[in-house]
Amino acid sequence: MTAPSDDARSWLSQMYASFRVPLLRFLQHRLGDRHEAEDALQESFTRLAAAGQATSPRNQRPYLFQIAANLLRDRAREQSRQGPVKMVSFDDPETRADDVPVDASACPVSSTAHRERLHRLGQALQELPERQREAFVLHRFDGLTQDEVADRMGISRRMVTKHLSRAFAYCEIRVRYASADQMTSGQRDRMENGSEEQA
């Protein structure tokens, strides 16, 4: 699995520099919260990185904004599945600390860690083989079923399952490391330590 090329990094950097401010403004207007908008911005660029240079230069802005709009739609659907937010009153003497919902995004450390994970996920997606990345994007980001992914890619459902399981496994491990080299080194060290313990 190879790291993203210099061209891919340069393209993504140019996209970020060109469209960060208008996209953040769009997201903040829709979400009404700066921190949520920042998180949505990072995730939008993560999805863009996963898709790669899929459009011509003149279509890049609408493509990016469509990714962001799809993300907002996915979040709204997820929130509707979770049900209404429980409201508590701090004026009520019966209110206990356990009744107060915890907002992880209010913690700067959690927010920074979340952004770092998104950044690493974006790197992980770029490092996947092309067919694995395509299956992952179609299934996770575009919401296609495995059968629909198989039809779109012209492969069997069994092969889609294989691509997805490998992509998920790689991404799950990769987000723990700052780089692909660091991940490879860490896994090699663990294997060597395991061999020494068995000896």
Residues 40 and 115 in one domain: yes
DSSP string for residues in 13-51: HHHHHHHHHHHHHHHHHHHS-HHHHHHHHHHHHHHHHHH
- Are 72 and 153 found together in one domain? no
The answer on pLDDT for 186 being more than 50 is: yes
Same domain for 79 and 120, yes or no, is yes
What number of residues does the chain have? Answer: 199
Examine residue 171 and state whether it is found in any structural domain, yes or no: yes
pLDDT of residue 155: 95
Alpha-carbon distance 74 to 94, whole Å? 36
18 and 116, same domain (yes or no): yes
Give pLDDT, residue 164: 87
| Same domain, yes or no: 12 and 59 | yes
Domains identified in the chain, total number? 2
C-beta separation of 35 from 105 below 8 A: yes
Residue 97 tokens, joined: 């600390």
pLDDT at residue number 39:
84
Kindly report the number of other CB atoms within 10 A of residue 62's CB atom. Answer: 10
If asked whether residues 64 and 146 sit together in one domain, one would say no
Which domain does 163 fall in, by range? 129-194
In a domain, 102, yes or no: no
Q: Are the C-beta atoms of 49 and 126 separated by less than 8 Å?
A: yes
Same domain as 62, residue 29: yes
pLDDT tens for 117-175 read 778 888 888 888 999 989 988 888 777 888 999 999 999 999 998 998 888 888 888 88
Question: What tokens were used for 116?
Answer: 């770092």
What is the DSSP annotation of 99-131? GSPP-GGGSHHHHHHHHHHHHHHHHHHHHS-HH
7, 74: one domain? yes
pLDDT of 15? 81
Shared domain for 45 and 117, answered yes or no, is yes
pLDDT tens readout for residues 105-130: 455 666 677 778 778 888 888 888 99
9 and 48 belong to one structural domain: yes
pLDDT higher for 154 or 102? 154
Higher model confidence: residue 96 or residue 182?
182
The answer to whether residues 30 and 60 belong to one domain is: yes
Please report whether residue 11 resides in a domain.
yes
The per-residue pLDDT for range 6-65, each reduced to its tens digit, is: 555 567 778 888 888 898 898 988 888 888 888 888 888 877 777 766 667 777 788 888
Least reliable range by pLDDT among 71-80, 101-110, 118-127, 181-190? 101-110
pLDDT at 169: 84
